[in-house]
């Protein structure tokens, strides 16, 4: 079945709204409506909800490449995250206590990324719980990326190559496109596209990935024997 980006985005938004807004206890309908409007405004700024990131995305790229990471957490430099949901160009986390300050400090301590700047913002809105202190972490691209659109191939492809080509120094086998889609496209995804990459961009990434593995630079192509 073809990947339907619009439907995936709609389903993702509903799930996030249920998690951040509809579940909150102790607020009246006016406050709940305010939270819904705030959430929609954030999605308009940072793009649709997603499940995981491609490993080359600036929000998760500071990790051990032998053990790739697809969601923000301590393995890619964040502290204090709790009750977190992800979007194409940012994520919202709703910790308690000092967690918000921990998140902000950990983002400030991350190494500079050549393609994007990561910013933080405390949100004056009720998400997840009346006691939670939500923080928005946003990926601000150096080159223009429209919030409602996928990431251009001209931005994604250099990041993919910067992340994957150095792995040839230690890899023993070459992973096929089927086993790499999760890491290169993020999720939700289809065979060659996701909410991060369009069909055309994903097809180009697939062609380049297959050209790379057939050079032998990563080792023999891994055969799935299951």
- Average pLDDT, integer, range 44-58: 97
Q: In what order do the strands lie in the sheet with 116-122?
A: 49-50, 84-87, 90-93, 135-141, 116-122
How confident is the model at residue 146, as a pLDDT? 84
Mean pLDDT of the chain: 94
**Position of tokens 């890899």?**
171
pLDDT in tens, 122-165: 999 999 999 999 999 999 999 988 877 899 999 999 999 999 99
* Whether residue 222 has pLDDT greater than 90: no
Instruction: Name the one residue in this structure whose structure tokens are 């096929």.
Output: 176
Q: Tell me which of 141, 171, 200 is where a domain ends.
A: 141
How many domains are contained in the chain?
2
The domain boundary, picked from 110, 141, 172, lies at: 141
Residue 37 has pLDDT above 70, yes or no: yes
The per-residue pLDDT for range 76-124, each reduced to its tens digit, is 999 999 999 999 999 999 999 999 999 999 999 999 999 999 999 999 9
Q: Which residues pair with 52 in a beta bridge?
A: 187
Whether 148 is covered by a domain: the verdict is no
Query: Model confidence at 225, in pLDDT bands (50, 70, 90)?
Result: low
Q: Which domain holds residue 99?
A: 5-141
């Amino acid at each position: 079945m073809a990947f339907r980006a619009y439907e995936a985005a709609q389903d993702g938004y509903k799930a996030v709204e249920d998690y951040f807004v509809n579940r909150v206890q102790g607020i009246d309908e006016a406050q709940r409506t305010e939270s819904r409007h705030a959430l929609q405004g954030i999605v308009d700024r940072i793009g649709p909800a997603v499940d995981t990131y491609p490993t080359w995305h600036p929000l998760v790229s500071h990790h051990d490449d032998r053990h790739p990471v697809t969601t923000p957490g301590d393995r890619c430099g964040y502290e204090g995250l709790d009750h977190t949901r992800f979007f194409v160009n940012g994520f919202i986390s709703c910790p308690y206590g000092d967690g918000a300050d921990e998140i902000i400090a950990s983002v400030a301590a991350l190494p500079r990324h050549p393609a994007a700047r990561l910013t933080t913002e405390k949100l004056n809105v009720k998400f997840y719980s009346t006691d939670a202190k939500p923080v928005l972490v946003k990926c601000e691209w150096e080159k223009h990326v429209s919030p409602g659109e996928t990431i251009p191939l001209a931005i994604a492809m250099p990041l993919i190559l910067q992340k994957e080509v150095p792995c040839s120094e230690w890899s023993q086998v070459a992973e096929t496109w089927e086993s790499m889609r999760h890491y290169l496209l993020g999720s939700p995804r289809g065979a060659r596209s996701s909410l991060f990459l369009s069909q055309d961009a994903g097809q180009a990434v697939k062609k380049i990935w297959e050209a790379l593995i057939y050079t032998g630079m990563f080792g023999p192509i891994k055969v799935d024997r299951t």
